[in-house]
Structure 1
Amino acid sequence: MNIGDAAATSGVSAKMIRHYESIGLLTAARSDNGYRVYADRDVAVLRFIRHARDLGFPLEDVRRLLMLWQDRGRASAEVKQLALTHVEALENKAASLRTMAASLRHLAEHCHGDTRPDCPILDDLARKE
């Protein structure tokens, strides 16, 4: 199948497919005329990548997961550890986002939001640390 078909079947845009090829996550065969040709296995890899990215895994972790997925002799312990490390990173990021939201909510509560020019939100953004 061509790149458009692979994109439609996998849910990954043609632009991202080319990007994944450029960084070595996917290798497409080439036809005699130089066009990329994708097999069902390539589409399965693209779906795997898409799902891992949907879960927020960074590309280097996606690379490691792909290698583990393709290695039938792998130990599941390594996959579990990678997943748990990612869960911890997501939880830390979520906590950080909650802190940022609370700070911004506090600033917004102290802003009059009227025609006056003074604004604690802008004052806080402009303050020097």
Structure 2
Amino acid sequence: MMQPSEQTSFSHTNALPSDLTSQYQVEDDDIFVGADKHEKTLTFIKYALQLEAIDEGWLYEQQGWMFNQLQRYREALEAFDRARHLGYGNDGWLYKQKSYALTRLDRAEEALEAGERARKLGYLNEE
């Protein structure tokens, strides 16, 4: 077993291609402090998708949530649609998150439809 001093940190390696490690430029001052952690999570999701090591539908669902957290709602909708097409079409949480993104994009009618779909699938609002 490696000793802690012998272990390699990801921050000291070039394990990820440069296109996956580029940083998102934040132009909106309203994005909260944790945005950098969400960006890092997006990087690892992209890497996992290339490895095909984890359920792609789940990864896209998580990617959509991260995009929502970063106020990147159009990208969130794309990720949720990919997840839906990969077998997550009966996931109430996905539709609740999709409804949130649609609301933020002022697409109220579509947001209501997605919210209703979430409710029909048994998603209970946690708030």
The TM-score by the shorter chain falls in which range? under 0.3
State the TM-score, normalized to the length of structure 1. 0.27
Find the structure with the greater CA-based Rg.
1
Of the two structures, which has the highest relative contact order with CA contacts closer than 8 Å and spacing of 6 or more? 2
State the TM-score, normalized to the length of structure 2. 0.27
